[in-house]
Structure 1
Amino acid sequence: MEKKAFRQQQLARLQQMTPASRQVQTANLLAQLTQPSAWQQAQTIAVTISSPIEVNTQPIMAAAWAAGKNVVIPQTLPHRQMAFLPHTATSPLARTKFGILEPTTGTPVDKSKIDLILVPGLGYSLDRHARIGFGGGYYDRYLADFTGTKLTLAYREMAFKTAQWPVDDYDILLDTLLVAEDGVDDKD
């Protein structure tokens, strides 16, 4: 399946998830996230401000702050580039043309100072840890020379045994993929 067609199909699938399922799966993923050494050892964690179809990142940021970690969030730049800026609960944000919230102030954090990036996306393959994002290529460009840990959190609806989309040479594979465990009720 072409990437564009897969994205459209996956967006529709994720929009059909119930709020109850999202809440339970997000709690399960947060519990999994805080266990690995990558989280335990990280001082600076990069995360996005989630959209309604993504794993809710607010509890993740709260857990990071409670653990004394620095949180940085992306700001899109020209030429499909991005930088990560410090983020606190009171940081000013603005909605971009993509509909996502980004920081409006702050000094970009050097990539080498970020220990862990929680990489967003629409789908992930369990076999290769390939991901398909929203189509801008921002993360693949940023991660090309990133030396920290690339981790993602996936609802069960986002995880596939193998990629159902073409995986290109420039697609950056993830280090760790955490999927909401089976047995999570998906009914209201």
Structure 2
Amino acid sequence: MGEKEKLRQEGLRLLKEMPLTDKLHVEHRLADLLFASSIWKDAKSIGLTMALPHEWDTTKLIQQAWLEKKRICVPLTIENRGMQFYHIESYNQLTDGAFGIKEPIAERCEPASKDELDLLIVPGLLFDTSGYRIGYGGGYYDRYLTDYQHKSLSLASSRQIKQSLPVGPLDLPVDHLLTDDGFLL
């Protein structure tokens, strides 16, 4: 098992074993800090993934975005480990997709181009203080970020932060890293 794979396992374990009360506390804190930030306030269109049970809940973010009349765009995985985001206005436009992640039903939504997304919320398991991350190993977000021109942000518990992580040639850092202790980037 390579170093990245070991770290991936560690990050997954950390999230899956976190007591629910701790998880809810972190989610509440992340949401408060995010909604108060200029990064959130300036974004008119937000790209994010529907979270799995062990990940930070994104439904709170979606509800708040809809309240503030922001556009929410959710990715559908496509061939060659790519992603196409679609604008959703209701949970009825989602279905169970790959890996048990809710994905948009393409026929029920309009596609959103990369330049339409002001803010991309990037999932991950572990992060370093430069914004590099260990994800699930599919490379979907690294591919998407290669020519993405707007702001990218990841949400993390302070427990998910490492001083440094192994970085490959195709790995790209996020612009902003928000933890329950505040913005690190």
TM-score by length of 1: 0.90
What 5-or-longer segments of structure 2 have no aligned partner? none
Q: Paired residue for 1:110?
A: 113
What 5-or-longer segments of structure 1 have no aligned partner? 183-188
Q: Provide the C-alpha distance between the structure 2 equivalents of 1:149 and 1:18, rounded to a whole number of angstroms.
A: 31
Report which structure shows greater RCO (CA 8 Å, sep ≥6): 1
1:152, 1:176 within 8 Å by CA — same for their partners in 2?
A: yes
For residues 111-142 of structure 1, what are the alpha-carbon distances to aligned partners after superposition, in whole Å with 9 as ceiling and x for unaligned? 1110000000101112x111111110000000
* SS of equivalent to 1:38: helix
Residue 61 of structure 1: how far off its partner (Å): 0.7
Residue 179 of structure 1: how far off its partner (Å): 0.5
What is the aligned-residue identity percentage? Answer: 34
2:7, 2:126 within 8 Å by CA — same for their partners in 1?
A: no
2:84, 2:111 within 8 Å by CA — same for their partners in 1?
A: yes
* SS of equivalent to 2:80: helix
* SS of equivalent to 2:57: coil
Q: Provide the C-alpha distance between the structure 1 equivalents of 2:147 and 2:92, rounded to a whole number of angstroms.
A: 28
Residue 85 of structure 1: how far off its partner (Å): 0.3
2:153, 2:175 within 8 Å by CA — same for their partners in 1?
A: yes
Q: How does 1:112-127 map to 2 (within 5 A)?
A: 112-126=115-129
Residue 104 of structure 1: how far off its partner (Å): 1.1
Residue 80 of structure 1: how far off its partner (Å): 0.3
1:14, 1:157 within 8 Å by CA — same for their partners in 2?
A: no
Counterpart residue type for residue 175 of structure 1? D
Q: Paired residue for 2:91?
A: 90
Q: Paired residue for 1:185?
A: none
1:55, 1:155 within 8 Å by CA — same for their partners in 2?
A: no
Q: Paired residue for 2:153?
A: 151
**Alpha-carbon RMSD:** 1.4
Counterpart residue type for residue 60 of structure 1? L
Q: Provide the C-alpha distance between the structure 1 equivalents of 2:13 and 2:91, rounded to a whole number of angstroms.
A: 33
* SS of equivalent to 1:21: helix
Q: Does 1:38 align with 2:54?
A: no
Residue 156 of structure 1: how far off its partner (Å): 2.2
1:10, 1:123 within 8 Å by CA — same for their partners in 2?
A: yes
1:119, 1:152 within 8 Å by CA — same for their partners in 2?
A: yes
For residues 63-95 of structure 1, what are the alpha-carbon distances to aligned partners after superposition, in whole Å with 9 as ceiling and x for unaligned? 111111000011000110001001223333222
- Cα distance change on mapping 1:90 and 1:12 into 2, 3 Å: closer
